[in-house]
Amino acid sequence: MLQRSERIKYSGLFTQAFQKGKKLHGENLTIVFTVTRENLKDKLPLTGFVISKTYSKKAVARNRIKRQLREIYRLYRSKTVNQEKLKKIGLLVFKVNSHKVFDDYSSLEKELLGLLAKI
């Protein structure tokens, strides 16, 4: 689980990320990120996960995808090489685009890591 200091906690920060951030689109995922300010260079980005009700009406299905995304991101940021890359980012939002149900963890992981490599 992400530490409280690494999570986006306010809706205004989500709005700021979507309005001012750069977007990377994948087949089923979108990553929105903003470049960090100079005084926050040594911190990991504030991170959020967005899955709308159009993905699934059931909260259980949406929460399952969020848990999987969090775990993939946690493993990604635990590597020192990736931490240096992530410190250049201020806000980082992962958004699920499609109605496609991810059947397996590996397809979700492959797409997310591919997008993170483009940052």
pLDDT at 84: 86
pLDDT at 17: 93
Kindly report, residue by residue over 48-57, the tens digit of the pLDDT: 999 988 888 8
From residue 119, give the alpha-carbon distance in Å to each of 35, 56, 64, 112: 11, 28, 25, 11
Kindly report, residue by residue over 64-104, the tens digit of the pLDDT: 999 999 999 999 999 989 888 888 899 999 999 877 777 78
Terminal Cα-to-Cα distance of the chain (whole angstroms): 22
The more confident residue out of 44 and 109 is 109
Cα separation, 91 vs 35, whole angstroms: 7
**pLDDT greater than 70 at residue 58:** yes
Neighbours of 93 (CB within 10 A): 22
pTM (predicted TM-score): 0.90
Tell me the domains of the chain and their CATH numbers: 4-118 (3.30.230.10)
